[in-house]
Amino acid sequence: ATRWQDIQGMNNWKGVIDPLHPDLRAAGIRYGEFVEAVYDAIDMEVESEFIYYSLYGKSDLFPNVGVTSDYKITRYLYSTLVVEGWRTAFDGLHKRSSTTWIGYIAVSSDQETRKLGRRDVAVILRGTKASDEWYVNSEFMMKELKLLGLEKPLPRVVEGFLSMYTASDASKMFGDSSLRDQIFKEVNKLVEVDYKDEDMSITFVGHSMGAGMAPLAAADYGFNKPRIAEGRTVMVTAFVYGAPKTGDGEFKKRAEESCKIIRVVSTGDIVTLIPPVSLTPPGIYQHVGVEWRVDWSSSPYVQDLGFGMRCHNLELYLHCIAG
């Protein structure tokens, strides 16, 4: 494997996590900052007509949030949230839906591509912000997944993540196509048309809720991607930070066959234990991919955070990676 393929997990990150290779450190910071950009740009003003949408257009996002990057955002991504059952009781409704801005797709410039050794497409998915996302995230029931082949037993994944990935509602702004369809349409265009003769990496990146969905999206794309010409490399990888568990053992098996996944875990991060064993049969939910553990306790700049949500902060993760 070439160096970039090692960093994207061709050999399951053997020899590059411990000791930490500078290129993996750089990738971990770069992709994490791409997610942080969404947090910095999302409209959280309660009275705003555009709450949970981006404050900036695609070309203005990076400059306005202070991200210096040789990547160009080619598409914003939106997720449709469907809330039903007991969660709608207070509204007097049986079901409601809404859409939120959940991330974007960006591609490396020619100059950055030469530096990286391949054309990189980054699919960025943020963590929970909208109130309805909290409801959907609490749907720990498992649902069969038919996107990775129909061989039995079918893999099962968190119902809430699958719903946010596949739902659509044409009556809502940006809701006419599912998050899955948006990703496939844009990434396929980049792979098959815009850069059809180049070696590429398709990197799915997520934090928190987005880290639960990124392995699902990466496994799906890895399994269902277009046919790649002989002699050309198109690697599919997920970089996830503070990830909850996405699915069961069968999902883990098929996901790890379809793509490469590296899971950055901070000491004391409670979200990495979700769904909790107390609410699910033991052994049902399993983590996927290779673990990259980071420890804030060795930093002189971080107070004792103990255990909980404070250990889940993405900026804390990036501080630990930076060293």
Please tell me what DSSP assigns to residue 190: I
| Residue ranges of E strands in 219-267 | 234-241, 260-266
- Rounded to whole angstroms, how far apart are CA atoms 322 and 25? 7
In our burial notation (b when 16+ CB lie closer than 10 A, e otherwise), range 52-68 reads bbbbbeeeebbeebebe
Question: Can you read off the two tokens belonging to residue 202?
Answer: 């398709």
Determine which one of 132, 201, 269, 287 is catalytic.
269
- Rounded to whole angstroms, how far apart are CA atoms 31 and 22? 14
Determine which one of 79, 168, 208, 258 is catalytic.
208
- Give Rg (Cα) of the chain: 19
Determine which one of 54, 120, 201, 312 is catalytic.
312
Question: Can you read off the two tokens belonging to residue 62?
Answer: 């990076």
Sign of torsion over alpha carbons 64, 269, 17, 240 = negative
124: nearest Cα among 193, 177, 67, 176: 67
Question: Can you read off the two tokens belonging to residue 114?
Answer: 């030469």
Active site residue 208: yes
Tally of helices (H runs) and strands (E runs) in the chain = 10, 9
User: What's 206-244 look like in SS3?
Assistant: EECHHHHHHHHHHHHHHHHCCCCCCCCCEEEEEEEECCC
Catalytic residues: 208, 269, 312
